[in-house]
Structure 1
Amino acid sequence: MLRILLLSLGTLIIILSCVWGGMALWFQLPWPLPWRVGLIAVWVGAALGMLWLAWTGTVWPGLAGYALMFALLMLWWGSLEPSHERQWADDLARITQGDIRGQQATLHNVRNFHWRSEDDYDVRWETRSYDLGSLRSVDLITSQWGMPGIAHILVSFGFDDGKFITFTVEIRRERNESFSAIGGFFKQFELNVLASDERDAVRVRTNVRGEQAHLYRVEMPEQAMRDLFVAYVEEANRLSAQPRFYHTVTANCTIIVYNMMEQIVDGLPMDARLLLSAYLPSYVKDVGGLADEPLETLRARGDFTERARRAGDDENFSRIIRRGVPGWESIR
């Protein structure tokens, strides 16, 4: 019975690790489809062969043979390093960098594309300066594209002069590459921290990609707002100096922001809503970061999707999308 129990446990481990290894090969081998499928078939066949040996009486050679196979796979896996040198999509070709001296922040590689469609746009990268002493607001923006429970998270900073700059943590797509939540477990993408003109960052999602967006004004002390802005700049600078892989669970658009906020606000709890990012506003409300109104009201009044689509490229875009949003009652 003990032998059968150990063999059953070993079989489960081999099956799970074999599936993981097959997916790692699928997402990382730069080969044509037939070659990838062929090697994965060899990998699975060899694993099944080791299992057959183990169950037919040659237990330790079978298990040791698979352990050697998996060790070689992990050596290959460990050799995969993130890089800045790839053929990037135009809108992710650069990483924002920043210099902060006292209250003055200068951002380089701020994206300000003019979007007509997903494939038709004007490429504009700019350098912009901001006085952190005039920083007055932080807004959480969620953008949903149809995956249940999942939203992309953007954070927008507003200043006394009515200007807004939006930070977003993105997968850094290569040309002709699209997002894959599963691929995000297998080193398919690098990370990018990007500052964009708000009209660019929002319109590409609501007006071009057809996503559903909501805006929530976050209640934060002014010093915490400045600390969060600086944290974004420092994170972007780190990524610019040292590339890092995106990970669907441990390094995504919410966890990166949570890690920054954890350094600013003591005692922020971990929560499943940090992974199910469409529910992040509920988490922010529970930790005291949103207005004292029912979440359903904040969500309904914060839905600016149709306002964004009607506004188009209006120069007052940021004011238009905030009309009626709790905390922005002064906007007309």
Structure 2
Amino acid sequence: MRKFLTRCALLLLGLLITASAGWGVLAILFTGPAEALLRYSLAGAFALVALAALVALGSRHWRGRALALALHLVQFAALLLCWYRLEPSNERDWQTDVAVLPYATIEGNLVTVHNIRNFDYRSETDFTPAWYDKSFDLAKLQGVDLVTSYWMGPAIAHVFLSFDFGDGDHLAMSIETRKEKGESYSTIKGFFRQYELYYVVADERDVIRLRTNYRRNPPEEVYLYKLRAPIEQGRQLFLEYMQRINALHQQPEFYNSLTTNCTTGMWLNSRVNPQHLAFDWRIIASGYVPQLLYRHGLLDSAGLPFSEVKRRAHINARAQAADAAADFSRRIRMDEQAKTDISDRVAEDTAGTPP
């Protein structure tokens, strides 16, 4: 039994060394010195010390084993110290689409949002930048919509919210990475403090139309779902988003592909409401967020099966037809509005019909 427990302990220790070595090598490669030769040399040395610690686990000489493990522990501790000294910044040479930080001023029910993005796109990379300020009356909030965009299969989607203030007035908020000029997105890099966290606050003609009309490599399939919840919870969620946006305006934070991304950020913001959902694996597998909400009765489904709800939520064709129209938000919801109008007329007709 003693030998068995010893072997189990060594196996566990070996797994910990392997995991820490893998993380450490990647951390050095992504966050190490700018000079490539020095960065690769440090990563190689880190890997060699970790390998020596693994080999030492099989040694019968406890002193050699202890020395190798101590060296790996020291180098890992030194790396962690450097890691935690990395600081996010709002002062970098940002890409144009994330160059301007949004913020809000709040006076009772009146929320003025500054720097709402509304680019005029000719292609994904060719556009005329534009931002505007606008005031929103929380008393006029009518609903909240969920937008999901797929480009790599059913399990992964970019998910964001759009707030409906009536009369075709919608404000979209998307949690994304803030990239520097010349930088591209990488999920792996997102684990290693390579991007700042950024809330895109935008007109739907910008943030939705970009995905439906101009993204081609790869193309994106976009769905818009109407959420079902008390409107007061929508107001609380809107205010929570505003608070987070103002906080990031003052103090930047790092984006993380697992813990601080579009869906986990949305889930954390929703904790302000009592109907906040418990954590679910579909929060990570973001493509299944609509199914999660449907299961809990939080999608306006009219009693339809989810497959039909999803089919009706697909808006690419409507968005491409609407393109730059001033009433873009109304047009991408036309099928939904037509069904609502028909249902209302049927209800009115049957209300006056004797049994």
Q: Residue 293 of structure 2 is aligned with which of 284, 290, 303?
A: 284
Letter in 1 for 2:41: G
SS at match of 1:155: strand
Aligned position for 2:242:
233
Amino acid corresponding to residue 47 of structure 2 in structure 1:
V
What does the per-residue CA deviation read over 1:19-58, in whole Å, with 9 as the maximum and x for residues that have no partner?
1101111221252444432321121122223434454421
Once the 2 structures are TM-superposed, how far is the Cα of residue 277 of structure 1 from its aligned partner?
0.9
Gaps of 5+ in 2: 343-355
- 1:108–1:30 CA distance, 2 compared to 1 (3 A): farther
Aligned-pair CA distance for 1:147: 4.9
Matched AA of 2:326: E
Deviation, structure 1 residue 97: 0.6
Structure 1 alignment gaps of length 5 or more: none
- The aligned amino acid for 1:46 is V
Whole-angstrom CA distance in 2 between matches of 1:7 and 1:272: 31
Please list the CA deviations of residues 143-199 of structure 1 after superposition, one character each: whole Å capped at 9, or x if unmatched.
Answer: 112255111112111122221111111111111212212222111111111210110
| Counterparts of 1:160 and 1:51, CA distance in 2 | 63
Partner of 1:251: 260
Alignment partner of 1:11 out of 11, 14, 18: 14
Q: Deviations over 1:101-135 (max 9, x none)?
A: 11111001111111111221111121111111111
Superposition TM-score, scaled by structure 2 size: 0.88
Question: Normalising to structure 1: TM-score of the pair?
Answer: 0.93
1:320 lines up with 2:326 in the alignment: no
Select 2:68's aligned residue among 62, 72, 80.
Answer: 62
1:28 matches 2:39: no
What is the one-letter code of the residue matched to 2:155?
A: G
Shift in CA distance, 32/118, structure 1 to aligned 2, threshold 3 Å: farther
Question: Is the contact made by 1:194 and 1:236 (CA closer than 8 Å) also made in structure 2?
Answer: no
**Residue in structure 2 matching 1:195, options 189, 194, 201:** 201
Match of 2:163 in 1: 157
Task: Note if contact 2:160-2:266 (Cα within 8 Å) is conserved in structure 1.
Answer: no
Does the CA-based 8 Å contact 1:164-1:197 persist in structure 2? yes
The correspondence for 1:299, drawn from 297, 306, 310, is 310
Correspondence for 2:353 = none
> Structure 2 matches for 1:152-191, cutoff 5 A?
152-191=158-197
Rg larger in 1 or in 2? 2
Give the SS at the match of 1:130: strand
Q: Is the 8 A contact 1:217 1:326 kept in 2?
A: no
Cα RMSD, aligned residues only:
1.9
| Structure 1 CA distance for aligned equivalents of residues 223 and 201 of structure 2 | 19
Q: Partners in 1 of 2:146 and 2:338 — Cα distance?
A: 12
Go from structure 1 to structure 2 and tell me whether the alpha carbon gap of 1:9 and 1:126 turns closer, same or farther (over 3 Å shift): same
Q: Which residue of 1 aligns with 2:110?
A: 104
Contact 2:49/2:68 (8 A) holds in 1: no
- Equivalent residue runs for 1:115-134 within 5 Å: 115-134=121-140
> How far did residue 288 of structure 1 move?
1.8
In 2: Cα distance, 1:111 partner to 1:92 partner: 9
Residues 38-77 of structure 1 correspond to what in structure 2 (within 5 A)? 38-56=41-59, 57=61, 58-77=64-83
- Alpha-carbon distance between aligned partners in 1 of 2:50 and 2:247, rounded to the nearest angstrom: 40
Q: Which residue of 2 aligns with 1:311?
A: 322
Question: Kindly, what percent of the aligned residue pairs are identical?
Answer: 37
**Which shows bigger deviation, 316-325 or 295-304?**
316-325
